[in-house]
Amino acid sequence: MTTDSTPSPNFIRNIVAEDLKTNKNNGRVHTRFPPEPNGYLHIGHAKSICLNFGIAAENGGLCNLRFDDTNPSKEEVEYVESIMEDVRWLGFDWDDRLFYASDYFEKLYEYAEELIRKGKAYVCDLSPEEIRAYRGTLTEPGKDSPYRTRSVEENFDLFQRMRAGEFEDRSRVLRAKIDMSSPNLNMRDPVIFRILRAEHHRTGNKWCIYPTYDFTHCLSDSIEGITHSLCTLEFEDNRPLYDWVLDQLDVPCHPQQIEFARLNLSHTVLSKRKLLELVEQKHVTGWDDPRMPTLSGLRRRGYTPESIRNFCERIGVAKRESTVEIALLEHCLREDLNKRARRVMGVLRPLKVVIDNYPEDLVEEMEAINNPEDLAMGTRKVPFSRVLYIEQDDFHEDPPKKFFRLAPGREVRLRYAYYITCVNVVKDSKTGEVTELHCTYDPETRGGSSPDGRRVKATLHWVSASHSQEAEVRIYDHLFTKEHPTDDKEVSDFKIHLNPNSLEALTSCRVEPGLRDAPPGSRFQFERLGYFCVDSVDSTDAGLIFNRTVSLKDSWAKIQKAQKKKGQP
């Protein structure tokens, strides 16, 4: 993988460095990224991916991709494929280390038998409701199950018959025998196998019992020789159970679980369950809707993998929960696109301009710079002719103070072309709407400067009417109007905060002719407007469709200033 900058220290990097110094794990570093295939990956997962693959790469170690697929009913092949595509797109490679927790079902069954043999697990016939009632609360200890004292032989026999399918779903479970009065509820004889007749996407109908997450995860880590098992903070209370299971059993190794704070991002939600709700209820067009915080949505929107990796590095890794402004993600994207995106001209809301004194049949090829940040990207020719389009809001018939763009009698510069002066305004006789401007140009100002040193206060982008290509442009805004849509205690449904104006489709835009064959996914800066990319799903030969990736206006600097004032880092 490529590192974009020198990694900055964080507490996990420090732990790994220390372990290497003391030769713990014989100097090995082996991590894993363990998604559950029950949805598409989102930007929060990118943090975990960058951390796991990054830590391994920085230390000459390895990182596995493991599907944590112990939950048969919710998992689908579509998700497995999208997850692999997204991890690869981000720039990471698991080589031949692609694993599935379901590949370990037999092994996990044997480990469960080992626990039974050691008197550390028992088959419990309490109903799920009874188990919950017996568990106690944070302030009260739990009660022992009446089945807790079953003999090893009886447990052995019942567990085998559970596997053989002799019992109904939910009628029995296998539980670890730990401590019903533990202050940690996870340690109160947790369920480790349950009966569930459900078809699994990989094992089909082979199994009617499935191991729980807690039992599966630590053992999968150990089977794969993981050294550092990095997970999010909500698993902190599961760590004693992680360690307990590995301590009881004869396992290949005992990885160290380390928790870090998950990424929360403003103006969106990062939970697969909630994102699925948006997809299923058609609030968005799919998991890859350009408004979604999923990696496939961000990719379709025009995000680069480099900008996301850079973002993940900048937000850092800590133990404390916090919410990151979506403006920072956008800032990282602008930084990257500024360096690499070709500048072009596109007019989103066209207003016709006729240059009265320009020859009817003349077409001039104006030379335009592809990227002032990188002159090696060269120049291109843009056709200029008598009839042009400019942006509607670059003209004001009755210009307010501080409006320096085009107005009656006023002269402005057309980028890479000429100075023009507005001499006449044509309006729709019924609506009063401005439909056309008549201007004159000064032939002496070719290239955009005047030999007599005359200055103009504005430079406008434009396209030639007859040469330009029609396109649809989709402008996106935040998916939610509220900064923290799920924090609102007043409403029960976070979807109330969906932004009704998160998508605006402009269907009669005009772009330079050079964009006619721009391939899906290609990115550009439309001068003065922002960064845009060709939609990779809906754009076809019949119609060119752009997504606005991000505007040019960077709100991050402003937010940073305000945070500094408030004394936040």
Residue 45 Cβ, how far from ligand ATP at the closest point, in Å?
A: 5
36 or 179, CB closer to Mg ion?
36
Among 12, 25, 31, 45, binds ligand ATP (CB under 6 A): 45
Binding ligand ATP (rule: CB under 6 A), the pick from 231, 308, 407, 529 is 231
* Residue with smaller CB distance to ligand ATP, 87 or 417: 87
Q: C-beta of 52: minimal distance to ligand ATP in Å?
A: 8
Residue 56 contacts ligand ATP per CB under 6 A: no
- Going from the C-alpha of 226 to that of each of 193, 239, 351, the distances in angstroms are 23, 15, 62
Query: Which of residues 36 and 436 has its CB atom nearest to Mg ion in the complex?
Result: 36
Binding string, residues 242-261; x marks residues near Mg ion by CB under 5 A:
--------------------
Distance of alpha carbon 467 from alpha carbon 507, whole angstroms: 18
H/E run at residue 245: helix 239-248
Q: How far is the CB of 428 from ligand ATP (least distance, A)?
A: 51
Apex 256 CA angle, 56 and 66, nearest 5: 55
Is 54 a binder of ligand ATP (CB under 6 A)?
Answer: no
Strand 228-232 and strand 256-260: the pairing is parallel
Q: Using CB distances below 5 to 8 A depending on partner kind, what does residue 263 bind out of Mg ion, ligand ATP, none? A: ligand ATP
Residue 272 in contact with ligand ATP, rule: CB under 6 A = yes
Residue 409 structure tokens: 């009698």
Q: Compute how many residues bind ligand ATP; rule: CB under 6 A.
A: 15
38 vs 285, beta carbon nearer ligand ATP: 38
Q: How far is 187 from 179, CA to CA, in rounded Å?
A: 6
Confirm or reject binding of residue 47 to ligand ATP (CB under 6 A): yes
Residues numbered 359 to 398 that lie near Mg ion (CB under 5 A) are none
Residue 288: DSSP 8-state = T
Q: Which of 270, 284, 344, 456 is the binder for ligand ATP (CB under 6 A)? A: 270
What's the CA gap between 151 and 143, in Å, rounded? 19
Tokens of 109: 């069954």
Within the chain, how many helices (H) and strands (E) appear? 13, 27
Task: Give how many residues touch Mg ion by CB under 5 A.
Answer: 1
Neighbouring C-beta atoms of residue 163, cutoff 10 Å: 18
What is the per-residue DSSP string for 40-73? --BHHHHHHHHHHHHHHHHTT-EEEEEE----GG
Position among 135, 143, 202, 262 found at the interface with ligand ATP (CB under 6 A) = 262
The verdict on 351 binding ligand ATP (CB under 6 A) reads no
Which residues inside 20-49 make contact with Mg ion, applying CB under 5 A?
A: 36
Q: x/- binding map, residues 17-36, to ligand ATP, per CB under 6 A?
A: -----------------xxx
DSSP string, 291-330: TSSBHHHHHHHT--HHHHHHHHHHH---SS-EEE-HHHHH
Region from 18-26, 41-49, 401-409, 414-422 binding ligand ATP, contact rule CB under 6 A: 41-49
Residues 385, 466 contacting (CB under 8 angstroms): yes
Residue 502 to residue 481: CA distance in whole angstroms: 9
188-217 footprint of Mg ion as x/- string (CB under 5 A): ------------------------------
44 binds ligand ATP (CB under 6 A): yes
DSSP 232: E
Distance (Å, rounded) from C-alpha 52 to C-alpha 23?
A: 20
CB of 460 to ligand ATP, least distance (A): 43
Contacts of 492 (CB under 8 A, 6+ apart): none
Q: Show the tokens assigned to 96.
A: 């031949």
Q: State in angstroms the smallest separation of the CB of 41 from ligand ATP.
A: 8
> Quick one: which segment of 166-174, 271-279, 281-289, 513-521 binds ligand ATP (CB under 6 A)?
271-279
Closest listed residue to residue 182, CA positions, set 130, 244, 271, 275: 244
**For tokens 């998604």, what's the residue?**
35
Residue 440, contacted partner among Mg ion, ligand ATP, none, CB below 5-8 A by kind: none
C-alpha span between 499 and 497 (Å, rounded): 6
- By a kind-dependent CB cut-off of 5 to 8 A, residue 114 interacts, out of ligand ATP, Mg ion, none, with none
Radius of gyration of the chain (CA): 31
CB of 270 to ligand ATP, least distance (A): 5
By CB under 6 A, what part of segment 292-321 binds ligand ATP? none
Q: How far is the CB of 264 from ligand ATP (least distance, A)?
A: 7
Do 344 and 511 meet the contact criterion of CB atoms below 8 Å apart? yes
Catalytic residues: 36, 262, 272
Please say which residue, 450 or 486, places its beta carbon nearer to ligand ATP. Answer: 486
Burial, 247: exposed, middle or buried (Cβ in 10 Å; 0-12, 13-18, 19+)? Answer: exposed
We find the least distance from the C-beta atom of residue 119 to Mg ion, in angstroms, to be 31
CB nearer to ligand ATP: pick between 38 and 469: 38
| 3-state SS assignment for residue 338 | helix
Check: CB of residue 103 under 8 Å from CB of residue 67: no
Confirm or reject binding of residue 48 to ligand ATP (CB under 6 A): yes
User: Where does this chain touch ligand ATP (CB under 6 A) — which range of 44-52, 289-297, 383-391, 425-433?
Assistant: 44-52
For the chain, give the number of residues: 569
Q: Which residue is nearest to ligand ATP (CB)?
A: 44
Given candidates 263, 284, 295, 332, which one binds ligand ATP under the rule CB under 6 A?
Answer: 263
Residue type, position 266, single letter = S
User: Which two tokens mark 147?
Assistant: 């089945």
293 vs 350, which CB is nearer to ligand ATP? 293
Nearer to ligand ATP, 45 or 510 (CB): 45
- Least separation in angstroms between CB 222 and ligand ATP: 16
- d(CA 554, CA 363) in angstroms, rounded, equals 37
State the Cα–Cα distance between residues 47 and 80, nearest whole angstrom.
19
Q: Which residues form the interface with ligand ATP (CB under 6 A)?
A: 34-36, 44-45, 47-48, 231-232, 262-263, 270-273
In the complex, the residues that contact Mg ion under the rule CB under 5 A are 36
